[in-house]
Chain A
Amino acid sequence: MSEHTAKIGSANEPLLSVRSLSVEFRTDQGAFRAVKDVSFDVQPGKTLAVVGESGSGKSVTSLAIMRLTDYTGGRIAGGEVLFRPKGGEAIDLVKASDDTLRGIRGKDIAMIFQEPMTSLNPVFTIGNQIGETLALHEGLNTRDSRLRAKELLQKVRLPDADKLLDRYPHQLSGGMRQRVMIAMALACNPKLLIADEPTTALDVTIQAQILNIIRDLQQEMGTAVIFITHDMGVVAEMADDVVVMWKGDKVEQAPVREIFAAPKHPYTRALLSAVPRLGSLKGQPLPKRSPVMVMDGGEPRQVGETHVQNTANYTKPILQVDKLTTRFDVGKTFFGRVTHRVHAVEEVSFDIYPGETLALVGESGSGKSTIGRTLQQLIEPTGGTVRFDGRDMNAMSHGERRRLRQQIQYIFQDPFASLDPRHTVGYSIAEPIVVHGLIKDRKAIDKRVQELLEQVGLQPQHAKRYPHEFSGGQRQRVCIARALASDPKLIIADESVSALDVSIQAQIVNLLMELQERRGLSYLFITHDMAVVEKISHRVAVMYLGQIVEIGTRQAVFENPQHSYTRKLLSAVPIADPQRERAKTRIEGEIPSPVRPVGKEPAIHRMHEVEPGHWVALEADTMRGAA
C-alpha cells in the first residue's frame, strides 16, 4: 500500500495527529477517564489499526476524533486532534466550531460502525440515506445524487444497484448493509475513514469480502483508514501500523510486522499469546490445552499447562442423532395456510461419544443452533430420531424426558442475558439441583454450589453476589457452574466463548477442556470460529443450509478439507500473521436463505467416505441444494 501514499500530501506530514487526547465520562462515582493521554499519527493513505479488548477505550477514541463523544455524554478533557485535510494548515478538531466540524464529518472524515443491522435508519430507503450525504456536502440535486449513489453501490460490488436504491434496510442481509454503509462513508471521497469493528458482527466469508472491498477502495481512492478491532487476524491482514490500547492507555505502537514479531509491552505479548491461530495444531491428532498469559495487575502471568486432551472413549456413543429434521412455518395466507417454511435442519445425522467434543461449525442460517436447541428439547423436531445412552427420545415418558434435561445442559452465548439479574449467582447455580431434586438438604446444596464455583475458578463466597458484580468472563464461568450443577453427561455450548475477549476466551476454553477430563464430559460445541474449533474439538461437522457437508476428525477436516464450502470457510478466516501473503482467493456470494416455499423441499445430500470416519457431501448435490 505504501506506493499510494505519495499521491496525497507529503509523506512526512501526518493527515491526522492525535496529541495527548483524554476523554472523560460523568458517572455517579465522579468522572471516569476512558481514554488517557493517547497520542498517535495517521499518515495519508495508510491504515492504522487500534487494537484492544473491551474497556480499552478504543471505540471511545474513534468517536472522539470527530467529537462524536459529545453526543454520548463524553467530554474531551484534554489534548488536540490535528487534522490536515489539504496538507499544511492543521485544524484542531477539539476546538473547532460546530459548523466547521459538521463540514468535516461525512466529507473529509467518514465512519463505519460495528453493527450493520442497526447502522442504517429503518424508515428511509438506501438511496435516500446515501443521497442525503451527497446533497449535504456536494450540493447534488435528487437526480444527480441518485446516479452517484448507484455508482457507489456498484463500487462496493452490490448487484442490482438500481433496485437497491429504493429498498429499505430490513430487506438487505447484514453483509449487504455493511456494503451500503461503506458506500455511504465513501460518498464524498473522504481523506480518512474510521472503521469501528466493521466486520465483527458478520460471518467469516462475508467478513473476508468486506475486508477486501475496504482494502481495494482504499488503494483506489488513497483514503487513510483507522481500523478499530479486537481481532489480531484482521489487524495482520489490514494494518500498516498498530496502536495497542489497554484500560484507556496506549501501551504500544509499532509497524504491524514489528508488533507481531517483537511485541514489547507485556500486555501486547499476553494479547498475542491468547489469539487462537488457525493451523497451530497441524500434524497433531488430538486437541491440546496450552497455557495462557494473563495480566495480573501490570504484570503478565502464565496460567494453565500444556496437556493433550485424550479423553474420548469410542466404544459406545452417548448421543446418536439420526436424520434429525427441524422446520418452522413462516408466512401465512389470509386463511392461515402456510406458504413458506424455514428448513433449519434437514436429515442431519451424527454421534457423540463419551469424553468427546464434537464441533458444529457453520455461518448464520446453517441450522447449527437449531440442532442444539432441539437436543435440549427447547424445540420440537419435525422428524428423525435422537437416542441418548441408547434410549430413543421419542419413546421416552414425561419423567424420562425431564431426566434427560438434567443429563444434557446448555451454555448460551450471552452470559449476561442468561443469568437472572435479580437473583444471586448462588441461587441460579442451585436452581437445577432443586428443580431436579438432586439434593434435598439446604446446607448440602449450599456446599455443592461452593464446590462448583471453585471448580470453575471462582471463590465460594461469590455465591452471594449478583450477576452485575461480575465481568463477562466470570459470568460465563457462573453459567458453566450452573450447567455442571445437575451433573450432566453432555453439555451443549452454543457460541459460548464467541462474545468474550481473546484472553478470557482462551481461559474459558481451557476450563472447558479441564472439566471434560475431570468429569468425562461430552461437548457439542456450536460455533462459527474455526480457530477455536481447532483448539477444542476431537471431531468437526461443517454445516451449510441445514445439512452437514463434511464431518470427520479435526485433523482430517482441517488438514484435508474435501468440500468446497469447508475450504471456503477455512480460507476466509483472517490469519494473525502479517508475513503471510495478503492477496488470497476472492470469496464471492451471499449465504443463501433456508426459507423455501411449501412444496419446494431441499434435496438431501448424499455423503461418501473419503477416508475412515471422514464423510463428505457430494459436491453436485450441495450445488443443487443451494440453488
Chain B
Amino acid sequence: MAGFILKRLFQAVFVVLAVTLIVSFAVRLSGDPAIMLTGGAGGVTEQDLQNIRKALGLERSFFAQYFSFLQGILVGDFGRSFMGGTPVAKLIGQALPATLLLAFASLLTSIAISVPLGVYAAVKRGRWPDQLIRILSLVGLSFPNFWLAIMMVLFFSITLGLLPPSGMEGPQSFVMPALTMAIILTATNVRLVRTSMLETLSQQYIMVARSKGLKDWVVLYKHALRNSAIPLVTYIGLQFGGLIGSIVIVERVFNWPGMGTLAFDAISARDYPVLQGSITVLALFIVFINIAVDIAYGLVDPRIRTE
C-alpha cells in the first residue's frame, strides 16, 4: 500500500507538470493583457504597450516565463495579479475554501440522497418505486445546471423570499448552490448505486447473510452496501473533475466568491498569473482527490489493503 501511494505521488508530479505547461501555453493564446489593461483608451502608443508588457514580464520567451512560474510554485508564490497587484496566492487562499465547502456540501448532499434511493430502487427492482426513481433520475439528468440554478433563484429568493439569491453569507446561502450541484450528481449516483447494489444482492454471501436471520436493513446496509461502495468510490473520484467544472458555472449564477468566479474573472481580464495559479491549484486538488480515492479503496476493500 505504501509503495502504491508513493508510485501515485510520483505520477502526480508529471501530471502537475503537464497541466501547468498546457495552462501557461493556453492562457497566452487568449489575447494581450496590455491592451486589456489600457482598456482601449485613446492616446496609448505602441511604446506604452511595450512598457506595460515589460513591466509584467511578458517580453521574455514563453519558456522563460514558464520556468519562473514553476519556480514560484515551488515556494508557494504564484505571482501577482495584473489587476491591482494582489498576490495570487492570497486570492486563491480566499477563494479556495469557498469552493471546497460548496463542493463537499454538494457531494455529501448527493450521497445522502442517492444512497438510500439507489438501495431502495434495487430492492424494489422492476416495481413502481424503482420505475419512479429511474424516471426522476432521468429528469434530473436532463436539466442544464445553470437553468436549474436560475429557476431556484426565481422560486426561493424572488417568489418566496426565503433564501439569499447570491453571495456567501451564513448557512442558508449554501442551500441553493449546493442543491443545484447535488441534484445533477444525484441523478447519476442513484443509478450507479442501484446497478451496483443489484450486482451485490445477487451474490451468494447476501443469501448467506439472510439465512443467518439478519434483518433486511442489516443485510442491505452492512453486508451489501460496503461491497457496492467499491465502484461508487471510483465514480465519485472521477466525478470530482466534472464537479469542479460545473462549479464555475454555478458560482457565476450565485455570485459565489470561489475559484470558479476567480478563474472566470481572470479569463475576461487576461490576468495570466491568476488564471495560471487558480487552474494549477484546482488540478493539484483533483490529483490529490484521486490519490485519496485509491487510499479509500483499501479502506473499503480488504483484498486491496492486505495485498
Interface residues of A (CB under 8 A from B): 63, 66, 68, 71-72, 101-107, 110-111, 113-115, 118-125, 132-133, 136-137, 168, 170-171, 181, 184, 333-334
Please tell me if the beta carbons of B303 and A121 are within 8 angstroms of each other in the complex: no
Interface residues of B (CB under 8 A from A): 3, 6-7, 203-215, 223, 226-227, 300-303, 306
Separation of A137 and B211 alpha carbons in the complex (Å):
12
Please tell me if the beta carbons of A118 and B203 are within 8 angstroms of each other in the complex: yes
A115, A121, A137: the one within 8 Å of B209 (CB): A121
Shortest beta-carbon distance, A93 to chain B, in Å? 13
Q: Given A123-B302, A171-B306: A118 and B205 within 8 A (CB)?
A: yes
For B213, the chain A residues whose CB sits under 8 A away are 101-107, 133, 136-137
Separation of A334 and B3 alpha carbons in the complex (Å):
6
Residue of B nearest to A121 (CB): B205
Q: Is the interface of B mostly helix, strand, loop or mixed?
A: helix
Please tell me if the beta carbons of B226 and A119 are within 8 angstroms of each other in the complex: no
Separation of A118 and B205 alpha carbons in the complex (Å):
6
Shortest beta-carbon distance, B1 to chain A, in Å? 12
Please tell me if the beta carbons of A121 and B223 are within 8 angstroms of each other in the complex: yes
Q: Which of A115, A124, A171 lies at the interface centre, i.e. has the most chain B CB atoms within 10 A of its CB?
A: A124
Separation of A120 and B210 alpha carbons in the complex (Å):
12
Q: Which of A63, A104, A122, A333 lies at the interface centre, i.e. has the most chain B CB atoms within 10 A of its CB?
A: A122
**15 chain-A/chain-B pairs, Cβ below 8 angstroms:** A111-B208, A114-B204, A118-B203, A119-B208, A121-B226, A122-B302, A123-B226, A123-B227, A123-B302, A124-B223, A124-B226, A132-B212, A168-B306, A170-B303, A334-B3
Please tell me if the beta carbons of B7 and A334 are within 8 angstroms of each other in the complex: yes
Separation of A430 and B138 alpha carbons in the complex (Å):
45
For B223, the chain A residues whose CB sits under 8 A away are 121, 124
Residue of B nearest to A107 (CB): B213
For B214, the chain A residues whose CB sits under 8 A away are 102, 106, 132, 136
B210, B300, B302: the one within 8 Å of A105 (CB): B210
Top 6 closest A-B pairs, CB basis?
A105-B213, A106-B212, A106-B213, A118-B204, A111-B211, A168-B302
Q: Which of B204, B207, B208, B209 lies at the interface centre, i.e. has the most chain A CB atoms within 10 A of its CB?
A: B208
Please tell me if the beta carbons of B212 and A170 are within 8 angstroms of each other in the complex: no
Separation of A114 and B223 alpha carbons in the complex (Å):
19
Please tell me if the beta carbons of A122 and B303 are within 8 angstroms of each other in the complex: yes
Residue of A nearest to B3 (CB): A334
Separation of A170 and B227 alpha carbons in the complex (Å):
14
Separation of A136 and B211 alpha carbons in the complex (Å):
12
Please tell me if the beta carbons of B210 and A68 are within 8 angstroms of each other in the complex: yes
Separation of A68 and B210 alpha carbons in the complex (Å):
8
Residue of B nearest to A120 (CB): B205
Separation of A114 and B208 alpha carbons in the complex (Å):
11
Shortest beta-carbon distance, B31 to chain A, in Å? 46
Shortest beta-carbon distance, A289 to chain B, in Å? 38
Please tell me if the beta carbons of B212 and A105 are within 8 angstroms of each other in the complex: yes
Q: Which of A66, A71, A113, A171 lies at the interface centre, i.e. has the most chain B CB atoms within 10 A of its CB?
A: A71
For A111, the chain B residues whose CB sits under 8 A away are 208, 211
